[in-house]
Chains A and B, each alone.
Chain A
Amino acid sequence: MTKNKAKHEPLFHVVRRTSMPAWQSISIRALSILAAFLVCCLILLIAYQCDPITFISSLFNGVFGTERRIWLFLYDLAILLGISLALVPAFKMKFWNIGADGQTLIGGLGCVAVMHYLGGVLPDAGVIAISLVVSILAGGIWGLIPAFFKARFKTNETLFTLMMNYIAIQLVSFFINTWVSSGTGVLKPIDTGNLPTIGGNTYLLTIILVAILLVFMSVYLRYSKHGFELSLVGENENTARYAGINVRKVIIRTMLLSGVICGVMGFLMVSGYTHTISTSLVNGRGFTGVIVTWLSGFNPLYMVLTSVLFVFLSRGTSQVITNLGITNSAIQNIVIGIFYFCIIGFEFFIRYQVLFTKNGSKRNSSLVKGLEVKAESKEA
């Protein structure tokens, strides 16, 4: 059996692509989204007898049906994009920060705490300023702790940041239970010390600020010295060290930035919209942000597109659920999971190439030719 195997040629082999025309990679991505759509349609058809046309029309209706829904879509987009932008520098440095949930939540907690203790005591402007500072500090510290240990002792940051999420959740629950003496565990919205609205529109300020953040982050990553240093650390720590970069400093500085932006996002969510806090404030956006960041290859423009897709899906499917009269939101996670699978699965065809073996004797003829050409050129 094994002897036969040695003679037997594999039917195909896989090689890494060096480059690919842009139109090809774009069409592969489009294909992956299409495939995911088809799978989702099929599942809804089987599970809920929901025909594809109803599915797609209620998706669009859920996102763009009314003016309020469009604003909510843009707002959700801004929040997800903001958190993803916070993650980008860390991920470009190959620092697996899956703790954006906790960093954002703790920022929100800082903001709520200031509103709770100082709201009504100080003028609103003072409360806003102090809560912004406290949120920045809280988020920053939450990012700094794992970064310090990673830089100093190479402590595994993936699990560290994950555990920080749960600590943040417990802290929020602790403070809610401390402040709400009735024991309901629900903190009523605090209406003093909130961010002002622009012309009565609650969402616009957040959207504008995230747009500014997008521009800042693109410039920071592409043109600043910091951006260059962190991508060098991400590519190869030793190279970075030989180039005279203080790796520890870069790790700590980048994670501080990441945590601070998360903290600010928490501040924006609480002060600008919810005016209260619950343990599900961030609702897994930190994880979605990780996937957005990764799928976009750290490119801010692609990040916008990917976030649009995922926010579209999550808002759209929640409408689909309401239309079908389903009370549970599980299908939302399933749909999003299927999209992740299809998109990362199709990545394979962008990065690799499958070559089929035509017949045994001519195996790898192109490869052999290539080697011959190389050898000739060397001789010459």
Chain B
Amino acid sequence: MISFITQAIRLAAAFLFGSTGETIVEKSGHLNLGIPGIMCIGAVGGCLGESIYLGSLSSIDAINPFLAVLIPTLFALVFSALMGVLYSFFTVTLHTNQNITGLTITTFGIGFSSYLIQNIDTSGFSKASACFKTLFPFYSNLGIFGELFLSYGFLTYLALIVAIASYIILKKTRIGMNLRAVGESPATADAAGISVSCYRYSATIIGCAISGLGGLFFIMDFLGGNWEYVVDIIGWLAVALVIFTLWNPLIGIFGSFVFSALYIVSSYVSVPFNVIDIIKMLPYLVTILVLIITSIIGSKKAQAPSSLGNNYFREDR
């Protein structure tokens, strides 16, 4: 039971990065369906960084845990931010349809990541992954408390910090207020002297960079450095999670725990192997239920940004 909860909390970081990133992007009025692809690219970018770092070492034992985490993290940030630049260049500057651009980025991201991962030397990744997995090596001395709260890697805590920080920035600061204005009514924001393009570009790039970390976390921390072709599914669930969280990163912390628990529950129950497939449906079924329930309640406070999915072109006003 304890191991189930700790695994669920561990995986939650992947969903939390994804949904926090997508929340920031959506607050600017961009419905970015490219997040699954961007998470793949973030993951593969991080793997590339790790393999470059490991390649530069004289022997694998000379690994520096600090650099082994920092370098892939920076690589993942840069790679996924570049995809954010690409996305916003298409939607903001070229006014292309957001959904189509997003789906294109997802197709491209899945292809690009699976191409790159097969050309990366992943030997020594299990050792590097150990650096990702534990931040506080002394946790085992602290019993259940240590197991539950301190047994995770750097990225898990970073995910929490990022989620709380983005909540504060979105809700309590002027920048956050301007960003929400851009997402709700770009024309009004424009009239008030807020640069819509600038806000949309920066929010999308920052949001995509954050999401990319989710991919990196999933591969290097949760899977122990072994690539699996399911990063895009995590990405889709993260996009769905944004609706579950009602665009609030704090609810996202709870929501991502629920989603990750549902995602891994099938490996913790003993049922005939065909029933496992039914249990694996749970995250999707719950997402649908959440979609339906939020749309039926339809309270005014918990709605998507009103111009979500619409590009802003000043001359159209």
Chain A residues in the interface with B (C-beta under 8 A): 14-16, 47, 96, 98, 149, 153-156, 158-160, 162-164, 166-167, 170-171, 173-174, 177-178, 183, 284, 287, 290-291, 294-295, 328, 330-338, 340-341, 344-345, 347-348, 351-352
Contact B291 A344 (CB under 8 A): no
- Give Cα distance in the complex from A372 to B104, angstroms: 44
Contact indicator B281/A155 (Cβ below 8 Å): no
Residues of chain A contacted by B285 (CB below 8 angstroms): 163, 167
Cross-chain contact of B114 among A333, A338, A352 (Cβ < 8 A): A333
Q: In the bound complex, how far is the Cα of B86 from the Cα of A294, in angstroms?
A: 20
Residues of B within 8 A of A284 (CB): 107
Binds A, one of B91-99, B141-149, B210-218: B91-99
User: Which residues 259-317 of B sit at the A interface, judged by CB distance below 8 A?
Assistant: 273-275, 277-278, 280-281, 284-285, 287-288, 291-292, 295-296, 298, 304, 313, 315-316
A170 to B274 Cα, complex, angstroms: 10
Question: CA of A167 to CA of B101 in the docked complex: distance in angstroms?
Answer: 25
Contact B295 A348 (CB under 8 A): no
Decide if B100 touches A290 in the complex (CB within 8 Å).
yes
Choice from B101, B111, B288 contacting A344 with Cβ under 8 Å: B101
| Contact A337:B100 (CB < 8 A) given known A174-B277, A348-B95 | no
26 A-B Cβ contacts within 8 A? A16-B315, A16-B316, A96-B99, A155-B292, A156-B304, A163-B285, A163-B288, A167-B281, A170-B278, A171-B277, A174-B278, A177-B273, A177-B274, A291-B100, A328-B114, A333-B112, A333-B114, A334-B115, A337-B105, A337-B108, A338-B108, A340-B107, A341-B104, A344-B100, A347-B94, A348-B95
Report if B233 contacts A (CB, 8 A). Answer: yes
- When the two chains form their complex, are residues B103 and A98 in contact, meaning their CB atoms are under 8 A apart? yes
How many contacts A-B (CB < 8 Å)?
Answer: 141
CB atoms of B103 and A331 under 8 A apart: no
Q: Which residue of A lies closest to B116 (CB)?
A: A330
> Which A residues lie within 8 Å of B100 (CB)?
290-291, 294-295, 340, 344
User: Is B111 in contact with A336, judged by CB distance below 8 angstroms?
Assistant: yes
Task: Say yes or no: A328 contacts B118, CB within 8 Å.
Answer: yes
- Indicate with 1 or 0, residue by residue over B107-133, a CB within 8 angstroms of chain A CB atoms: 111111111001000000000000000
Partner of A290, one of B94, B103, B275, B291: B103
Q: Which of A16, A166, A334, A345 contacts B111 (CB 8 A)?
A: A334
Beyond the given pairs A154-B298, A174-B274, A341-B90, 9 more chain A to chain B contacts, judged by CB atoms under 8 angstroms and listed by A's residue number, are A156-B295, A156-B304, A290-B103, A291-B100, A330-B113, A334-B111, A337-B111, A340-B107, A347-B94
A170 cross-chain contacts in B, Cβ below 8 A: 277-278, 280-281, 284
Roughly how many angstroms separate A22 CA and B286 CA in the complex, as a whole number?
A: 48
For the complex of A and B, list the 4 residue pairs with the smallest distance between their C-beta atoms, beginning with the closest: A333-B111, A337-B108, A330-B115, A177-B274
Taking a contact as CB atoms under 8 Å apart, the answer to whether B103 and A291 are in contact is yes
Interface centre among A156, A171, A336 (most CB of B within 10 A): A156
CB distance from B19 to the nearest CB of A (A): 13
CB of B160 within 8 A of chain A? no
Distance A334 CA – B273 CA, assembled complex (angstroms): 35
Chain B residue nearest in CB terms to A290: B103
Q: Is B222 an interface residue (CB 8 A)?
A: no
A345 in contact with B90 given A160-B291, A290-B103, A332-B111 (CB within 8 Å): yes
Flag if B295 contacts A154 (CB, 8 Å). Answer: yes
B33 adjacent to chain A (CB < 8 Å): yes
- Minimal Cβ-Cβ distance residue in A for B279: A170
Q: B313 contacts A330, CB within 8 Å?
A: no
Report the minimal beta-carbon distance from A157 to chain B, rounded to whole angstroms. 9
Q: Mark B196-229, 1 if CB is under 8 A from A, else 0.
A: 0000000000000000000000000000000000
Q: Pick the contact of A330: B103, B112, B284 (CB < 8 A).
A: B112
| B binding-site residues for A, Cβ under 8 Å | 31, 33, 86, 90, 94-97, 99-101, 103-115, 118, 233, 236, 239-240, 243, 273-275, 277-278, 280-281, 284-285, 287-288, 291-292, 295-296, 298, 304, 313, 315-316
CB distance from A39 to the nearest CB of B (A): 12
For B95, the chain A residues whose CB sits under 8 A away are 348, 351-352
B109: chain A residues within 8 A (beta carbon)? 337
Q: Are B114 and A16 in contact (CB under 8 A)?
A: no
- Say yes or no: B277 contacts A331, CB within 8 Å: no
Q: Are A153 and B292 in contact (CB under 8 A)?
A: yes
Report Cα–Cα, A340/B115, bound state, in Å: 18
Roughly how many angstroms separate A279 CA and B211 CA in the complex, as a whole number? 27
Please give, as numbers and ranges, the residues of chain B lying within 8 Å of A328 by CB-CB distance.
114-115, 118
B96 touches A183 (CB 8 A): no
Question: Which A residues lie within 8 Å of B33 (CB)?
Answer: 158
- Greatest chain A CB density within 10 A among B31, B114, B277 is at B277
Assess the A291–B292 pair: CB atoms within 8 A.
no
B296 to chain A, nearest CB (A): 5
**Which listed residue (A156, A174, A345) contacts B94, Cβ 8 A?**
A345
| Nearest Cβ on chain A to B198's Cβ, whole angstroms | 13
Are B112 and A337 interface neighbours, CB within 8 A?
Answer: yes
Quick check: B236 and A162 within 8 Å, CB to CB? yes
Smallest CB-CB separation from A15: which chain B residue?
B315
CA distance A330 to B114 in the complex (A): 6
Please indicate which of the listed interface residues A159, A160, A331 has the most CB atoms of chain B within 10 Å of its own CB. Answer: A159
Rounded to whole angstroms, the CA-CA distance of A287 and B108 in the bound complex is 12
A312–B306 Cα distance when bound, in Å, is 40
CA A173 to CA B279, docked complex, whole Å: 12
Closest to A343 in B: B104
Name the residue on A nearest B233 (C-beta): A166
What is the bound-complex CA distance between A337 and B113, given in angstroms?
12
Residue of B nearest to A180 (CB): B274
With both chains docked as a complex, state the minimum distance between the C-beta of B84 and any C-beta of chain A, in angstroms. Answer: 15
Q: Across the interface, do B284 and A163 meet the contact criterion of CB distance under 8 Å?
A: yes
Q: In the complex where A174-B277, A333-B114, A337-B112 touch, is A344 in contact with B97 (Cβ < 8 A)?
A: yes
Q: What A residues does B281 contact at CB under 8 A?
A: 166-167, 170-171
Complex Cα gap A166–B233 (Å): 9
B153 to chain A, nearest CB (A): 28
